[in-house]
Amino acid sequence: MNRERHKRCSRQLPTRLLALLVILSCFASCAAHKDRYTISTARSFVPLGDPFGFEKGGHFELKVFYYERKQKTKGTEHVKMEGGFVLQRFQNEAEFTKFRENVQNNHSICVFDYDTSDDPFDGMSGDFGDGGEIESAEGGILLSLESGTKEISYTFRAGEEGLYFLMYQVCPYQPITLSRFELEFHWYNFDRYGKRSYLPVGEMDLPFICLFFSICYLVYFLAWAVNIAKIQRSGKGIFTRGSDGSGRPVVFAIHQLMSFLIFLKCLSIFAESIRYHFLKENGHADIWSFFFYAINFVKGIFLFTVILLIGSGWSFVKPFLSPKETKIICVVLVLQVMNSISLAVLSREINGEQGYSKWTAIMHLVDIICCCVVLLPIVWQVNALEQTVNPDGEGYDEDRESELESGSRGQIISKLKLFRSFYLLVVAYIYSTRILIYMFGSMLDYRHTWVRHVVVEIVTLMFYVIVGSMFRPMPHNPYLSVSDTDDTEGDRELVISKV
């Protein structure tokens, strides 16, 4: 009965995934491009949008529509305040993060001089309230207003290049102040060929970088697919070592899933390359954003599913999944759907909008939970192998490794070492691409923000190659076999078999 139910669920799963794919893809397509953003906040200091690296000749335009500010006095004396939109230069994201924390913790700090009508920054002059000409952007660019609609524009000159952050602040600080406005900003640079580019200086080469990595994944996919095809046709793959009499390599269902995962990764980063190209040329890429979000959604589900299946030993260790493992896969699928929804929502929001902080927190939380959940089957598999090696509960002793390997349990010891290595590899991949890369990227200057993307793709490509090497089709498949009997509590008993 359990097996029939699992088969029925497995037949329904592709249909459900297809429906989710269509829904999320349409949502991502609708959310791909947005020119005007509505901000409604009670905070006195709000970072707006993403940082942008300007080069010499770069241009910035800011338009604020229907600005209004309300102070809820509650019997206290009305205080004269001023709202200011400031575009200020920082060395990197880490410096801005430190600055933002100082402003948020010390309400006496104001990023502009609200007591004067001109010269609000040292080294700057001009009628900023009316959006007039600006002589210098050394200290920042300010647009201050009391109400209504105003705009400002500026073209950066030599010596003013850098990473700029847009901020909004009300000075002096009042605990109960509501600000509401609509915001529209445009910025662009010029590339080495003199063409207008809507990408920051440090991201202008991302279309070519993503295209290069898509070619790398394509080569890897072709090598992997040809190897499997040769094994199925002639019994010997291109990575099979010389004839040592060990037998014919065995191709399992998990190897076919790994092939599809590599193909999805290649397709995803290729779509990202074209998406960045149109973002650079036009400032938006509606159609290719649709393809990118759709493919990235399927790729994310397949990545975590393949890691779960490999970690549980499905296909090449046992022909079925236990109920616990099936539930974990379902949980991961749901979490990936939530993560994709968060990503689609964030694609149409900017930092500062009401829903941005919530959806960012949801996306990071779901991603962390996903990463923790995929480790569970690997830990269970390692524990099962350790109990098989030492059923008396003493655990695996590396000092007895040579003694055990010379006996009948030597093949199980090799599998134990394999799954332990896989566990460490997955932990290293998750830690480097989820935590370390953000710390590393925050220290990059405005010209080298592309390095963060390159590091992530190099680490990901290494992860795919190493996992493929560890679990490639092997001769005579010296793995554990598992009993095919059902258990009332959903657990299976490991049975040791000599090969």
Model-level pTM greater than 0.75? yes
> Where is the domain boundary, 151, 170, 190?
190
Only one residue has tokens 């000749």, namely 57
Q: Clarify whether residues 261 and 162 are in a common domain.
A: no
> Any idea which residue has 């260790």 for tokens?
317
Whether residue 181 is found in the same domain as residue 281: no
| Model confidence pLDDT, tens digit, residues 27-58 | 444 444 556 778 888 888 888 888 999 999 99
- Residue 8 reports pLDDT greater than 60: no
Residues 183 and 211 grouped into a single domain: no
Locus of tokens 């390359």: 273
Please check whether residues 297 and 432 belong to one and the same domain.
Answer: yes
Can you tell me the distance from the alpha carbon of 454 to that of 350, in angstroms, rounded to the nearest whole number?
24
Domain assignment of residue 21, yes or no: no
| pLDDT band, very low/low/confident/very high, at 499 (cuts 50, 70, 90) | very low
Q: For residue 454, give the nearest of 94, 263, 192, 203 by alpha carbon.
A: 203
The reply to whether 129 and 265 lie within a common domain is: no
In a domain, 399, yes or no: yes
Query: Within this chain, do residues 210 and 180 fall inside the same structural domain, yes or no?
Result: no
In a domain, 217, yes or no: yes
Which CATH number does the domain housing residue 160 bear? 2.60.120
Which residues, 6 or more positions from 389, have their beta carbon under 8 angstroms from its beta carbon? 396, 404, 409, 412, 413, 416
Domain with 128 in it: 37-73+80-190
Q: Which residues contact 152 (CB under 8 A, 6 or more apart)?
A: 61, 62, 128, 131, 134, 141, 143
Residue showing tokens 């209504």: 148
HEC secondary structure over the chain: CHHHHHHHHHHHHHHHHHHHHHHHHHHHHHCCCCCCEEEEECCCEEEEEEEEEECCCCEEEEEEEEEEEEECCCCCCCCCCEEEEEEEEECCHHHHHHHHHHHHHCCCCCCCCCCCCCCCCCCCCCCCCCCCCCCCCCCCEEEEECCEEEEEEEECCCCCCEEEEEEEEEECCCCCEEEEEEEEEEEEEECCCCCEECCCHHHCCHHHHHHHHHHHHHHHHHHHHHHHHHHHHHCCCCCCCCCCCCCCECCCHHHHHHHHHHHHHHHHHHHHHHHHHHHHHHCCCHHHHHHHHHHHHHHHHHHHHHHHHHHHCECCCECCCCHHHHHHHHHHHHHHHHHHHHHHHHCCCCECECCHHHHHHHHHHHHHHHHHHCHHHHHHHHHHHHHHHCCCCCCCCHHHHHHHHCCCCHHHHHHHHHHHHHHHHHHHHHHHHHHHHHHHHCCCCCCCCHHHHHHHHHHHHHHHHHHHHHCCCCECCCCCEECCCCCCCCCCCEECCCC
Write the pLDDT tens digit of every residue in 340-399: 777 776 766 666 556 676 777 778 788 888 888 888 888 888 888 777 777 665 555 554
Give pLDDT tens digits for 82-140.
Answer: 788 889 999 999 999 899 889 888 888 888 765 433 333 333 333 333 443 454 556 67
Cβ-contact 492, 483 below 8 angstroms: yes
Higher pLDDT, 414 or 219: 219
Confidence at 496, pLDDT banded by 50, 70, 90: very low
pLDDT above 60: residue 404: no
Of 137, 170, 190, the last residue of a domain is: 190
Residues 275 and 185 in one domain: no
The answer to whether residue 52 is domain-embedded is yes
Q: What is the pLDDT of residue 289?
A: 82
Residue 256 domain flag: yes
- Tell me what the mean pLDDT of segment 228-235 comes to: 85
Q: Supply the CATH number for residue 281's domain.
A: 1.20.1070
Distance CA 62, CA 77 (A): 33
Q: Higher-confidence residue: 365 or 274?
A: 274
Domain count, the chain: 2
